[in-house]
Amino acid sequence: MATKALATWALALQFGNISEPAIDLAIKSVYNWAGCAIGGYSQPAPGIAFEAMRPFLGGTGNSTILGTDILVDAPTAALINGIASHADDYDDTHRDNPIHPSGPVLSALLAVAEWKAPVSGEDFMTAFVAGVEAECKLGVSVFPEHYNIGWHITSTVGSVGAAVAVGKLIGLDIPELQQAISIASVQVTGMHESFGTDTKPFHVGRAAQNGLMAALLAQRGMSASMEGLEAPRGWAHVVSTRENLTAEFDTLGEVWEMTRNTFKPFPCDRIIHAAIDGWIQLRSKALEMGLDIATITKVTARCHPRVLFLTDDPEPKTGLAAKFSIYHAAAVALLFGEATPTQFTDAAAQNETVIALRSKVNVTSDATIAEHEAYVAAEFADGTTLDVHVENTIGSFANPLGTEALKTKFLDQVAKMIGDDRAILAWNAFYNVVNSTDVGAITQSFRK
């Protein structure tokens, strides 16, 4: 019984049982998520969602909308912070499938930690790890079939991860958590068709909110299947043509999915990061040789087939759409030598110079190339051809971002929303989350 096995393991998990590498990656995941959520509130989607909800909100709540000093109820905070954390497409991602693990789980968990304060750092992190292990094992068990037919795996498994994390934090017993998992699993959210629109990050916010609500409903006695994941008409068999739940859940506590988490260096789909890395390197080589980027006549890339599966959009009209365009990625990497949120705005997508270079990009698929790998090249008017092979892109499992790079990323995102001084306070608070005696008070440390 996969659902019972997951619930039993999650509730038995103690902080001291978690490996040191998993704790290290969990802490990095927390502050990376926080930076994305605070910075992501500058994107339209979270503000649209908040304004849509505002007429229905009651008095002052206990949970913070990050990037603001607004307090709302926990389910609303989970929704808005989940949307914001994914709005820039700058959040974390798993080595073995395209899940963004932290968004659904932490958006729900922090909202509850503020509501149910005090929650210690160790209890918070233990619940977080339990949620991530749950969603990632679930995701790996149905990948790639589930993903390839069009489901957004972050949100389809994220609601279960959020339910497990919140359920553990609020003290559900095993049957209650089984039912919470089932309630979360029926709220399947997110399809590829939304990629490049405001609705993609909405998937993550809704998964966080759905998982939180599933745990609360189970606590209040709402009945549900005790085998919601593995039953013949349960989650795994409905959303995928293949599943391996039992084998994956058998590794709980032995193989830590948290240690396979990675962090994005570029705010766009991770599948094009290797090519971006290569084109940035190629640009540096060109400038060292005295070549003029404006004289490029042809740009090529040979990549994993999922690159064109997800990002074959030669004419993106918006910044969000540009995050899913390998052609736009090539143009901005070569023109600007970087790929930051600034290069994925509406203005950048509509820039005439960018558009002109996009039209010179040709991409081919090669099934022998790994997702974190790419071969890129550019030809110049004088006949010079430069090429770069990226074997393990920056930010990949084999070439991860370190603490200093993650700190810079955090401060760059957060300072634009709350200023430099408060950004440093926020960094210190989230960096030291595991030592906190009251995680819910963290947000108070950098309020105005």
Q: Is 403 a residue whose pLDDT tops 90?
A: yes
Distance of alpha carbon 48 from alpha carbon 201, whole angstroms: 12
One-character DSSP codes across 9-35: HHHH--GGGS-HHHHHHHHHHHHHHHH
Residue 60: the pLDDT is 79
Q: What is the pLDDT of residues 235-254, one digit of tens each?
A: 999 999 999 999 999 999 99
Look-up of token digits 């705010």: 267
Q: Omega into 46 within 30° of 0, i.e. cis?
A: no
Q: Is 187 a residue whose pLDDT tops 80?
A: yes
Closest CA to 158 of 109, 84, 104, 94: 104
Residue 398: the pLDDT is 97
Give the pLDDT band of residue 149 (cuts 50, 70, 90).
very high
Give the pLDDT band of residue 59 (cuts 50, 70, 90).
confident
Q: Which amino acid, residue 179? A: Q
Taken in order 445, 117, 210, 144, the sign of the CA dihedral is positive
Average pLDDT over residues 417-434: 97
Q: Within its chain, how far is the Cα of 287 from the centroid? A: 34
Mean pLDDT over each residue of the chain, to the nearest integer: 97
Q: Which amino acid, residue 10? A: A
Q: What is the percent of the chain where pLDDT is above 70?
A: 100
Distance of alpha carbon 297 from alpha carbon 301, whole angstroms: 14
Instruction: Judge whether 30 and 270 are in contact, CB under 8 Å.
Output: no
Residue 296: the pLDDT is 98
Q: What is the pLDDT of residues 295-329, one digit of tens each?
A: 999 999 999 999 999 999 999 999 999 999 999 99
Instruction: Judge whether 413 and 263 are in contact, CB under 8 Å.
Output: no
Distance of alpha carbon 206 from alpha carbon 159, whole angstroms: 8
Residue 364: the pLDDT is 98
Give the pLDDT band of residue 380 (cuts 50, 70, 90).
very high
Distance of alpha carbon 53 from alpha carbon 144, whole angstroms: 35
Give the ranges where 300-341 is alpha helix by DSSP (H). 305-311, 319-322, 326-336
Q: Within its chain, how far is the Cα of 4 from the centroid? A: 27
Residue 385, strand partner residues = 379
Residue 333: the pLDDT is 98
Residue 388, strand partner residues = 376
Give the pLDDT band of residue 36 (cuts 50, 70, 90).
very high
DSSP state of 100: -
Residue 33: the pLDDT is 98
Length of the chain: 448
Q: Which amino acid, residue 34? A: A
Q: Is 448 a residue whose pLDDT tops 90?
A: no
Give the ranges where 143-198 is alpha helix by DSSP (H). 145-148, 153-169, 174-185
Residue 253: the pLDDT is 97
Average pLDDT over residues 151-166: 98
Torsion of CA 175, 179, 182, 184, to 10 degrees: -130
Q: Is 79 a residue whose pLDDT tops 90?
A: yes
Q: Is 447 a residue whose pLDDT tops 90?
A: no
Give the ranges where 220-324 is alpha helix by DSSP (H). 235-239, 245-249, 273-288, 305-311, 319-322
